[in-house]
Amino acid sequence: MKLKNGAEYIESLRQIHPRIYYKGQAIEDVTRHPATAPHVRAAAMTYALAAKAQYKELATAVSHLTGRTISRFTHVHQSIEDLIKKIKLLRVLGQKTGTCFQRCVGFDGINSVYSVAYEIDAQNGTDYLERFKRWLIHIQDENKMVVGAMTDPKGDRSKGPAQQADPDQFVHVVQRRPDGVVIRGAKLHMTGAVNSHEILLMPTTALDETAKDYAIVGAIPIDAPGVTLIFGRQAGDDRRDQLERIDVGKPRFGAVGGEAVIAFEDVFIPNERIFLNGETAFTSPLVYRFAAHHRANYGACKTGLMDVLTGAVSYLAHIQGAAKGSHVKDKITEMIHLSETLYSSSVACSAEGRPTPSGAYLVDTMLANVCKQNVTRFHFEVARLAVDIAGGFIATLPSEYDLESETVGHLVKKYFSGVAGIPVRERIKIGRLIEAMTGGTAMVESMHGAGSPQAQRIMILREGKLEEKMKLAKALAGIPQKSKRKKS
């Protein structure tokens, strides 16, 4: 049955039984466990918006495969309009959740695998795209959540996949059978893995002929035999054991995206769910396109978070009596400026998108890398300004237990009061929200999600068209384009 809203999505997770561990203990129900439930609710927002008339145009699309209305998160981009609608949707979701809503990695994987499968078939006469289409129609019709699994442990990073002392440091095929393959290895930092229905497995880097067994793309149910998930710790996660308390900061939604390790111990993938198998020459465009799509996202979803943070610190300045200060106004203006500049990067790389041979649209890859590079700076600067305006109290707040204490509660209420008429509880709530959005895992993810800053700089230099720019300079300076150095 197609999942139509957030409640149905949450119920669907109770019908599957993946093997999940957190702090050494098994999680039986991710929808109720305090460590994972907030992330489930954040992902559920992607379903909820699609059911609301106000957001339907952004949150849904028409499948080019079936003509049916589907979640945009299962759609293959067919136009620049699709790319821009995605960006607008991500900003809204960031504003609604103040965190990661977790469906982007699978979304970007779907688009990347689709276009690359088309090109493998065109060159080699394989049928990967038809297999992928059948799987994707099932994902679209059921509105299933897909986790894109790309980041390998990598082991000794001075060596490639085939040179590792432990071959499992990169996911690889360990057995080939007439009906499919058996894989082993792991994927790290997988956002939304524990509350997804399916895994879309992809290589983490471009591969050469020595690493054919590592060139594997396929779809695996999250509860398939041999799949184990280990849910990661986050800053302040023990506070979520008491979800109703204001110490959490964002009691309804998680800190970032609920990242997990996915370990594959002799997991079988049948042929009909394999979309690349040993074609190493196509791993480079796959990783390249995935990275571009994913880096384009960050200027939108992180802008949504920055909108919330700007609003939070503006309200805090108001209830602390500092809102009229010229330096406060200037800092808030800068926060808005940085947010909109970042958002414009996402819009630009989408507006400059183009079709691949498959017909699926790809963002402008140079601008997508610039966008993500800006995230690694602008989001941190907005967070710094927020902490500057808020003051040190957000790092040293007494707990809600102290606020409610019969012994010391009156002292907390007395000395954490601000503008008359504003409850102390409100000031503490907004302070905890700022704390949650400016520290720990939240900022690490902005830095390293979709690749470290150096990865973007490598791509920016590669696509910088320096030869063309040198020609421009030579033309203006009157230097012949084919001039040779004279021997001294």
Q: Give the active site residues.
A: 100, 104, 191, 259, 294, 298, 301, 445
Q: In what order do the strands lie in the sheet with 19-22?
A: 25-26, 19-22, 227-231, 259-270, 180-191, 172-177
What secondary structure letter does DSSP report for 482? T
- The pair of three-digit structure tokens given for residue 425, joined into one six-digit string: 């509880």
**Dist CA 319 CA 247 (whole Å):** 19
**Dist CA 93 CA 305 (whole Å):** 9
Pairing of strands 19-22, 227-231: parallel
- Do the beta carbons of residue 147 and residue 227 sit within 8 Å? no
Q: C-alpha angle with apex 484: 483 to 488, nearest 5 degrees? A: 135
- The pair of three-digit structure tokens given for residue 245, joined into one six-digit string: 């308390």
**What per-residue string of b and e applies to 302-334 under the rule 16 or more CB within 10 Å gives b?**
bbbbbbbbbbbbbbbbbbbebbeeeebeebbee
**Dist CA 96 CA 362 (whole Å):** 27
Task: Count other C-beta atoms under 10 Å from residue 86's C-beta.
Answer: 26
- The pair of three-digit structure tokens given for residue 471, joined into one six-digit string: 């020609």
Partnered with residue 227 across adjacent β-strands are: 264
- Do the beta carbons of residue 19 and residue 229 sit within 8 Å? yes
Secondary structure of residue 330 in the 3-state scheme: helix
Secondary structure of residue 408 in the 3-state scheme: coil
- The pair of three-digit structure tokens given for residue 198, joined into one six-digit string: 């399916």
- Do the beta carbons of residue 206 and residue 287 sit within 8 Å? yes
What secondary structure letter does DSSP report for 398? P
**Dist CA 176 CA 154 (whole Å):** 23
Secondary structure of residue 374 in the 3-state scheme: helix
